[in-house]
Structure 1
Amino acid sequence: MEEGLVDWSDLPPELWPKIGKCLRNRIDVLRFRSVCKLWRSSLPPTNPNSPSFPLQIPYPLSSSVSSNLIEATFYRIEPSPPHETPSSSSSSSSSSPKGWLIKVQSSPSMRLLHPLSNRQLMNPSPNSPNLWNLLNYRVIELHKSYTLQKFSHLAGAVNKVVFFPSSSSWVADIEDSVACCIYLEGKLGFMKYGDENWTLVDDKNSYYDDIIMYKGQIYVTDRWGTISWLDISSLKLLQFTPPLCGFGNKKHLVESCGNLYVVDRYYERELPRNRRRNYHLHLDQYAVVEDFKVYKLDEDWGTWVDVKNLGDRVFVLASDCSFSVSAKEFYGFKGNCIFFTDFFDVRVYNLNDQSIVPFEADPSSPQLFWPPPPWLRV
């Protein structure tokens, strides 16, 4: 063995299960278990006490209607260098090559989804295998999203769902799981594991726009840009920020590099109500976006900072969640941009010149999601 290197196999065997349970996502667990027989036997592939998806829960609008909570995961996937082994790969390496953004729903069956529109993506050819050998790729888990199964008469009634902990988490058991959702374009619902019905958290405010897990707590914003966090034990909302007083039509919460942002979405026009199928449908899909404003929360001073440049960061406003990534780590991403969906499907907003272009109009953008690169077959 080279001088200065540590032989990890000399660690006492009883330490491996404790080390393995510090892993926070499924990919890291797979890597851990793939190193050797000892490591594989010290940790099961999943936490036996964690939630299993799809998770059957009541639908917020009707306790007599049972629904499935479905989990999906966003990944960055890239080819591993020829000399690299799974045990030597590092998701935090600064020299990582560019990758592609994919979204995978693993239950009830594995499906590859478009990361923004949530449409199912088809195999590139009838002869493509349905097997990924993760030994050949570097796969980095980025974000998880949750959706409730929709019913024809309640389509679009639930706008956003957050759930904690995820199915791959070792830090808590299913008895500690909680779900929170925004439904009917602004009501806030809460449920603990084992509850038979959802609880309406705030009966005085039906104008909540977005919800996010931030630093282990649930935060919500209303249409005036006031952010509150939810005290799970008392189900009380505690005001966290002053009102933003932005004049946009909808507020999105995004975490980026440990900071909390509000993205204010401005609509150019709305389609007449008789053009919508019913009043539950997401307004995002039936209105045209004309502008965005971005604000960063200065937690030290409790004030909002008007952000004009995101630098290398890209904000992704997907249909079921919002998150941030580094543009330099992806093909097809440009820094200082917002990817979103509206009436015209997937579009890109550039903060440099406030321009909005269709996703397909940028020749580099289609590389981001689909068709997949030649080394990926699904």
Structure 2
Amino acid sequence: MNPSKEKSLVDWTELDTNILRIICIKLALIFDFINFRAVCKQWRSAITPSDLPLQFPLLIENHRGRLDSQLDVFSLQTHKIYTLDVPQVRGKYLTGPSHGYLLAPTRPKKLVMQSSIWGGLEVKPNIGYWDSEKKKWNAVEVPYGRARAYYKERLYLYDHKTHIVDMSTGAVLSDILSPAGVYFADLIVTPGGLLGVDHLFPLYGGGQPVEKCCFKVYRLEDEDEDEEPRWIELSDIGDLMIFIGSNNCFCLSASDFDGFKGNCIYFLRSNNKTDHHSKCYVVRYDLGENRSEVVACTRSCGDWIVPSLC
């Protein structure tokens, strides 16, 4: 054996833990992180699930109650579709991700807001929530709201005006009027407060070109004790990236991810085809430039989820 080659051999299982950590924080995709830990027992013990770097959202394509257990996710970072085998979603409709979890209930009325009309009378919707102290699901009757968010230990519902609701009783504590001509399709909790997002294009169909889709963003001003809470329009959301899916919305800081900029909204538009020509466009709206552009194309729309191992 060549002596120079013999000296160059490295036992990768003995790689220093600090070096392993430096490598793992560079892994942009959760799939790469899992494969990294699977190399050997030493690497697995040195790197724990809590070492997973903050992940960029993945787009879960519509599952629509399929009988198989495959779940397709699209990565905006790699522009690739990854297929996962998740037996728990077989035959179920996904009602949306929440805090790293997928909601695929057998009885959706326990988890999602519903309303109905019976005998000409509108029945108020119920919303279910998990009581961590009593360890059981509770359901309360609340006003209808197209958009909703849990903020400062209160439920905020929007339907032409913002209802602040006591979650334990369903009682409306107060209402906040909206600016004239504004209708919030989304309420989003951010580090800087509660945001309301007005879509200035049809939510479904309408045939409006992607380039014509735009938004207005408002922040709830509620810290001044001398004035009533009010919505203030923002011209800039700074470092924030807002993600809007079919059933969910949230925000992240662009500075946490290489190659992405803030002051943007990522949303989805479908070409409304029902055959194999169906496509979903991932669109980025730049608030500063007041302009939308397609940044990716995948097979079907769905919801965003930030993957986690903890």
TM-score (norm 1): 0.45
2:294 alignment partner in structure 1: 358
Measured in 1, the distance between the counterparts of 2:142 and 2:286 equals: 36
Match of residue 290 from structure 1:
213
Of 33, 43, 47, the residue aligned with 1:86 is: 47
Aligned residues: 217
Any residues of structure 2 matched to 1:113-132 within 5 Å, and which?
113-114=73-74, 121-123=81-83
Q: Is residue 240 of structure 2 the alignment partner of residue 313 of structure 1?
A: yes
| TM-fit CA distance, 1:247 | 2.1
Give CA deviations for 1:349-368 in whole Å, capped at 9, x if unaligned.
1101110112338xxxxxxx
Alpha-carbon distance in structure 1 between the residues aligned to 2:30 and 2:152: 25
The question of 1:201 aligning with 2:201 is answered no
Aligned twin of 2:198: 264
Could you tell me which amino acid in structure 2 is paired with residue 252 of structure 1? D
1:251 to 178, 185, 194: 185
- Equivalent pair of 1:146/1:320 in contact (CA under 8 Å): no
Partner residue of 1:102 out of 58, 62, 72:
58
Confirm or deny that 1:347 pairs with 2:251: no
1:327 aligned onto 2:287:
no
C-alpha contact (below 8 Å) 2:200/2:215 kept by paired residues: yes
- Preserved CA contact (<8 Å) 2:240 2:263: yes
How far apart, in 2, do the equivalents of 1:192 and 1:259 lie? 22
- Among 228, 231, 250, the alignment partner of 2:166 is 231
State the Cα distance separating 1:339 from its structure 2 match. 0.7
SS in structure 2 opposite 1:359? strand
Q: 2:155 aligns with which of 194, 206, 218?
A: 218
Partner AA of 2:58 in structure 1: I
User: C-alpha distance in 2, partners of 1:148/1:101?
Assistant: 22
| Structure 1 residues 332 and 216, CA gap change in structure 2 (3 angstroms) | farther
Alignment partner, residue 231 of structure 2: 304
CA change 1:111–1:308 in 2 (3 A) is: same
CA RMSD for the aligned pairs? 4.6
CA distance in structure 2 between the partners assigned to 1:192 and 1:88 by the alignment:
28
Q: How far, CA to CA, are the matches of 1:294 and 1:253 in structure 2?
A: 10
Calculate percent identity across the aligned residue pairs: 19
Q: What secondary structure, in the 3-state scheme, does the structure 2 residue paired with 1:228 have? A: strand
Tell me the TM-score normalized by structure 2: 0.53
Shift of 1:314: 0.2
Question: 1:182 deviation in Å?
Answer: 4.9
Structure 2 unaligned blocks of 5 or more: 1-27, 38-42, 87-97, 131-135, 272-279, 298-303, 305-310
Alignment partners' CA distance in 2, 1:89 and 1:263: 33
Tell me if structure 1 keeps the 8 A contact 2:114–2:125.
yes
Q: 1:144 to 1:351 in 2, by over 3 A?
A: farther
SS in 1 for 2:200: strand
Distance of 1:86 and 1:327 partners within structure 2: 26
Find the aligned partners of 1:115 and 1:328 in 2 and give their Cα distance: 18
The CA deviation at 1:234 is: 2.7
- Provide closer, same or farther for how the CA distance between residues 149 and 250 of structure 1 changes in structure 2, counting only shifts above 3 A: farther
Distance change in 2, residues 1:209/1:258 (3 Å): same
SS in 2 for 1:310: coil
Structure 1 pair 104–358 and aligned structure 2 pair: CA distance change class (3 A): closer
Q: Provide the residue aligned with 1:181 in structure 2.
A: 113
- 1:16 corresponds to: none
Q: Secondary structure at the match of 1:311?
A: coil
